[in-house]
C-alpha cells in the first residue's frame, strides 16, 4: 500500500535539452551557438529539441523546421543520432535504478522515481536528488534537472522550475503556498481547450480555481472537474508505475469549438502530424507497425481506424480520416493521430543473426 501523498517522496528527473546536450558534449564547438535536432525543411520536418541559445530566438520542440530557420537563419540543424541517444539514456536510467527500483520512464530523457522507502542519504530526497545529478553528469556528461515533491504532478513542475541544471524541492509543508499562486495551465491535463474554458470563467490561478465548488467543476468539465478540484489543492495520488511496454505513440486535441465538417478536420491534421513526429523523434523513431486516426464526435461517440501498412505521413492520415469521419458524419470534438509500435519481442527477433 502506497503512503499518502503527504508522506511520499517523488523525484522527477529531466535531462536538459537532451539530444542537443549529447551533441554538445561530443562536439564542444556546438555549445555556444544556436543548435537544434530535427527534420529538414525540405521534408517538412519538425524540431525534436534545441539548446538554450536557440531557445533565445523563440525556437522550441515540435516547431516546424521551416519556421525555426526563419526565426534563426544561422541555426545549426542536425538530423540526430538516435542510437547514440538511446545508449546515453540507458546509462542515465541505470543511475536511476541504482537509487530505487520504482522508476517510471516517460521518454528517453525523463522519468519519475519513487524514493519514499529509500534509506540511503538518511532518507533525504533532497540529498538523493543531488546525488542523482552529480552521478549523471560524472558518468554521461549530461546535466539533469530534478524536482522533489510529495506527488508526481508537483515533482514534474518543480523539475522545470529552475532549468537548466536545476534542483527545486517542494516539501509537504510548502505545498499549499506553492500551489495557490500556480497558473492553472500548469496543472497536469490542462491543455489549450480546457485552459481557454478556465480563462472564460475568469480563472487563471489555483487559488481562483479553489473558489469553485466541486459540483460546479463537474458540471463544467465532467469527470475532469474532480481532477481539477484535487490538483488545485495539491492532491495527486497517482503512483509511480514501473516501466511497461509502450504500444503506441499519439497526439490528439480536444477542440474548443467542434469542427463542423470533413474539410475542417483535414485542416486540423497538419499540426497533429507535427506533434506526432516530434514525439516519435523523442522516442528515437522506434519501428512502427502501422498508424491510426481517432475521432470523437459531438455526441461523444468514438471511432478509431487503423492501417498496418501505412507510414505516419499527413497524406496517410488524411486517407484514413475520410472513412473514419464518414462513420458518423457529425461535428468533431476530438481528433487524434498515432502510430502502433512493433512489440519489443518482435524487435529482438528481427535483430537476431541468421
CA distances 136 to 4, 144, 165, 302, Å, are 30, 7, 11, 44
Phi then psi dihedrals of residue 113, to 5 deg = -130, 130
User: CA-to-CA distance for 232 and 262, rounded, in angstroms?
Assistant: 37
- Per DSSP, the residues of 210-267 read TTS-HHHHHHHHTHHHHHHHHHTTT---PPPPPP----EEEEEEEEEEEE-SHHHHHH
Handedness of CA 134, 240, 166, 77 (dihedral sign): positive
Q: Which three cell numbers stand for residue 13?
A: 528527473
Annotated ligand binding at 26? The verdict is: no
C-beta of residue 154 within 8 angstroms of C-beta of residue 198: no
- Is 110 catalytic? The answer is yes
DSSP 183: B
Annotated ligand binding at 14? The verdict is: yes
- Vertex 259, ends 257 and 260: CA angle to 5°? 115
User: CA-to-CA distance for 78 and 36, rounded, in angstroms?
Assistant: 6
User: CA-to-CA distance for 209 and 27, rounded, in angstroms?
Assistant: 47
Handedness of CA 166, 167, 171, 174 (dihedral sign): negative
How many Cβ atoms sit within 10 Å of the Cβ of residue 238?
Answer: 14
The counts of H helices and E strands in the chain are 14, 12
Choosing from 23, 110, 274, 277, the catalytic residue is: 110
C-beta of residue 38 within 8 angstroms of C-beta of residue 25: no
Q: Which three cell numbers stand for residue 211?
A: 473558489
Q: At what angle do helices 214-221 and 223-231 cross, to 10 degrees?
A: 130
Residue ranges for the known binding site for Mg(2+) are: 14, 109
| Residues annotated as catalytic (active site), given as ranges | 110
Amino acid at each position: 500500500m502506497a503512503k499518502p501523498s503527504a508522506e511520499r517522496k517523488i523525484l522527477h528527473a529531466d535531462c536538459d535539452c537532451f539530444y542537443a546536450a549529447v551533441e554538445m558534449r561530443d562536439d564542444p564547438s556546438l555549445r555556444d551557438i544556436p543548435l537544434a535536432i530535427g527534420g529538414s525543411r525540405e521534408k517538412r520536418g519538425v524540431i525534436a529539441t534545441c539548446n538554450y541559445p536557440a531557445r533565445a530566438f523563440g525556437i522550441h520542440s515540435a516547431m516546424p523546421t521551416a519556421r525555426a530557420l526563419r526565426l534563426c537563419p544561422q541555426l545549426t540543424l542536425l538530423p540526430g543520432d538516435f542510437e547514440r541517444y538511446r545508449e546515453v539514456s540507458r546509462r542515465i536510467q541505470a543511475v536511476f535504478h541504482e537509487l530505487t527500483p520504482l522508476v517510471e520512464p516517460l521518454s528517453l530523457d525523463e522519468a519519475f522515481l519513487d524514493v519514499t522507502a529509500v534509506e540511503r542519504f538518511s532518507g533525504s530526497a533532497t540529498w538523493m536528488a543531488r546525488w542523482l545529478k552529480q552521478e549523471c553528469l560524472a558518468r554521461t556528461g549530461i546535466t539533469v534537472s530534478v524536482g522533489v515533491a510529495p506527488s508526481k504532478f508537483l515533482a514534474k513542475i518543480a523539475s522545470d522550475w529552475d532549468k537548466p541544471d536545476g534542483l527545486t524541492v517542494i516539501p509537504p509543508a510548502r505545498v499549499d503556498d506553492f500551489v495557490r499562486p500556480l497558473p492553472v495551465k500548469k496543472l497536469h491535463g490542462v491543455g489549450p481547450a480546457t485552459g481557454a474554458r478556465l480563462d472564460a470563467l475568469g480563472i487563471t490561478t489555483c487559488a481562483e480555481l479553489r473558489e469553485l465548488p466541486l459540483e460546479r467543476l463537474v458540471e463544467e468539465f465532467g469527470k475532469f472537474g474532480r481532477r481539477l478540484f484535487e490538483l488545485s489543492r495539491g492532491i495527486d495520488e497517482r503512483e509511480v508505475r514501473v516501466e511497461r511496454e509502450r504500444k503506441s505513440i499519439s497526439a490528439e486535441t480536444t477542440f474548443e469549438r467542434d469542427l463542423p465538417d470533413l474539410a475542417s478536420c483535414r485542416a486540423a491534421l497538419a499540426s497533429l502530424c507535427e506533434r506526432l513526429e516530434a514525439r516519435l523523434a523523442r522516442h528515437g523513431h522506434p519501428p512502427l507497425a502501422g498508424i491510426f486516426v481517432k475521432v470523437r464526435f459531438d455526441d461523444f461517440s468514438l471511432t478509431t481506424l487503423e492501417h498496418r501498412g501505412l507510414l505516419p505521413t499527413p497524406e496517410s492520415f488524411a486517407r484514413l480520416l475520410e472513412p473514419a469521419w464518414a462513420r458518423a458524419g457529425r461535428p468533431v470534438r476530438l481528433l487524434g493521430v498515432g502510430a502502433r509500435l512493433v512489440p519489443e519481442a518482435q524487435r529482438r527477433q528481427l535483430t537476431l543473426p541468421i
